[in-house]
Amino acid sequence: MRLLKKLIEADAPSGAESAIRDIIISEAEKLGYEVNTDALGSVIAHRPGKGKKLMLDAHMDEIGVIATYVEDNGFIRFGAVGGLDIKELHKRRVRFANGTVGVIAAEEEKFEKKADPSAMYIDIGAADKKAAQKLVKTGDTAVFDGSFHQIGDTIISKALDDRAGCYMLLKVMKKLKKTENDLYFVFSVQEEVGLRGAKTAAFRIMPDYAIAVDVTDTGDTPSCKPMDVKLGGGAAIKIMDRSVMCDVHVVDALRGIAKQNGIRYQNEIMDDGGTDAGAIALTGGGVRSGGISLPTRYVHSPSEMASVSDMEECIKLLIAACEYNWE
């Protein structure tokens, strides 16, 4: 898990992915892949082959906040970078790129009546505007301050969405042996703000098939919304989310691959979020797209939770998909 921890600890909100990009480029080059970076900043690692062109994508960015204004009293107003749950932000810690840590707060009476982002601010303990601006300026971004912990088979951390996907792709790149397929491993930018990096990367590659590797919600906590995915149940094969109806051929192929190789899998239908599969599917004249997801509790929080054994099942399924004879 050292590699996963290293990826997670590289803070990289959407649009500021340089820290994680540098690590991924270094790891991919060590493995002997042809590595390029496109104009938006996505990393594309290529393993040439004579078979079908297969794109596997995981996004590098994480959700965060952006400083929009520093008030005279030193408190910082902010906007969202990605999908934040406003109700869950009160008293959360965030960390800026220079290491400055602040607390998201609100006037509690106002906030209790209505979870209004305009009533919130970041407190970095500055005495006034001048002191605050020495540490944080308008346009600076911050991410959740949530450390990495492993307890047996369980991982708890910020940014498993989608550093877990990046980790799994790198493991696939390392373990993959013989395949005829023409493989493109894409580590995309700006997924959390509109699936942007995957769209331009897919246009550059124009693959025959694509698999988005991301996290998904679970339906295994008390009183939660029912969902046919649970922690420890294996890889989740995506059927649909709010951004995509996965290609039937891809879904059936992934299920068949899992059964043939004894890989534990679950069926994923996620109705409250989207993934890069949606952008890739609509690229050019269309790309036959699907998804392999890691079951994750408490997504978009500093305490996302996933299973190591589920990661291992996802990696097995991805390797088998890379070796599969796509028709």
Give the residue numbers annotated as catalytic, written as ranges: 191
Q: Which residues, 6 or more positions from 229, have their beta carbon under 8 angstroms from its beta carbon?
A: 216, 217, 218, 219, 220, 236, 266, 267, 268, 293, 295
Cα–Cα distance measured from residue 245 to residue 185, given in angstroms and rounded to the nearest whole number: 22
| Token digits of residue 215 | 């996290």
Buried/exposed 208-225: b ≥16 CB within 10 Å, e otherwise: bbbbbbbbbbbebeeeee
| Token digits of residue 202 | 């897919």
* DSSP class per residue in 38-88: -TT--EEEEE--SS-EEEEEEE--B-EEEEEEE-TTS-EEEEEES---GGG
In the chain, the largest separation of any two C-alpha atoms, in whole Å, equals 65
Cα–Cα distance measured from residue 322 to residue 56, given in angstroms and rounded to the nearest whole number: 9
| Token digits of residue 154 | 């369980």
Cα–Cα distance measured from residue 35 to residue 12, given in angstroms and rounded to the nearest whole number: 20
* Angle between helix 308-323 and helix 248-260 axes, rounded to 10 deg: 110
Decide: residue 234, CB within 10 A, 0-12 exposed, 13-18 middle, 19+ buried.
Answer: buried
- 58 phi, psi to nearest 5 deg: -135, 140
